[in-house]
Amino acid sequence: MERKLLPLLRDSNLTLIIGAFDPLSARLVQEAGYSAVWGSGFCVSARYGLPDANIIGPDTMIQEYCKMAEAIEIPILADCDTGYGDFHNVIHTVKRLEFHDVAGFCIEDKKFPKLNSFIKSKNNSLDSIEAFTSKIKAAVDSRKSEEFCVIARTEALNNNEPIERIVQRLDEYKLAGADAILIHCNKNTTDELFHLIRLWGNKIPIILVPTTFPHVEFSEFQSYGISNIIVANQLLRAGIFHMKSYLNNLSCAKNIEEGSTDISTLSDVFALQNMQEYETTDTLYRQPHV
């Protein structure tokens, strides 16, 4: 399978990048036939039962993304918040991710520590253009290969910056060396978002995360030249929903069988664990007892 991300980002065909939160969910994305994984900081934080607010240390987050990369053969894009600090932290993060074959990382133009964009807080104030572009330049300069993607994410729409100022940000991020721009919008309507895209054009690939406007059809995004869509947290939410449903059903059941309808088989789990490969290796190398 192809582990490079940049060709996907530059392709005009629709690419759904699916949010995962551990090696198992990443492998499910691959098994379902999708082309790329979004290593979601929000979802990893939720898995630990903690807010998405830079509470989990960067070493832990980076390790989680590296574990996902080791479990799959498709590219993974790591959500690295603000880069976990200044440009020194960004350099360290790039080196570790690239060493473990993570295909790229995304950093956002908020100040550290950040808070999830759907929570209104002073912690979501924006970094200056100069400070953020220094992070982008540091990432570009410290990567060993141009195949490692540096994605600049702007939260300016969510902070109600003037549209001209946002265009300036995107121009500066591109000039600093970003391979693509992720425009995050937590509003239910897309008028302002599409206006920004029309103004700026598609100077480099644009990525969208339609969490708050899931009703917009993919074809409409493509009409604006947008072919890269991150389905950021739906897999986690689907898992939570179905685990809750299972637990509720089990509490009313007479036995485990009655409460365990519509669940995966053990064979499904074994397949995700690569048990067939394990058994083949075991047969090949296991020494007979003397």
Question: Per residue in 210-228, pLDDT tens?
Answer: 999 999 999 999 999 999 9
pLDDT at site 199: 97
At residue 259 the predicted structure's pLDDT band, cuts being 50, 70 and 90, is confident
23-31 and 58-71 helices, crossing angle to 10°? 40
Q: Which residues of 249-280 are buried (b: 16+ CB within 10 A; e: fewer)?
A: eeeeeeeeeebeeeeeeeeeeeebeeeeeeee
* Residues belonging to the active site: 52
pLDDT attached to residue 191:
96
Instruction: Name the residue with higher pLDDT: 151 or 274.
Output: 151
The per-residue pLDDT for range 50-101, each reduced to its tens digit, is 999 999 999 999 999 999 999 999 999 999 999 999 999 999 999 999 999 9
Does the pLDDT at position 289 exceed 60?
Answer: yes
φ, ψ for residue 51, nearest 5 deg: -65, 155
| Domain architecture of the chain: domains with CATH | 6-233 (3.20.20.60), 240-285 (no CATH)
> Per residue in 7-30, pLDDT tens?
999 999 999 999 999 999 999 999
Task: Report the distance separating Cα 204 and Cα 207, nearest Å.
Answer: 10
| Amino acid 158: pLDDT | 94
- Tell me if 6 sits within 8 A of 204, measured CB to CB: no
Give exposure, 197-235, as e/b (b: 16+ Cβ within 10 Å): beebeeebbbbbbbbeeeeeeeeebeebebbbbbbbbeb
pTM of the entire structure?
0.94
With a CB cutoff of 8 Å and minimum separation 6, the contacts of 96 are 62, 66
At 116-170, the pLDDT tens digits run 888 876 667 899 999 999 999 999 999 999 999 999 999 999 999 999 999 999 9
Smallest Cα–Cα separation from 176: which of 196, 151, 155, 206? 151
10: three-class secondary structure by DSSP: helix
Question: Can you tell me the mean pLDDT for 96-118?
Answer: 94
Give yes or no for residue 290 having a pLDDT over 60. Answer: no
SS3 9: helix
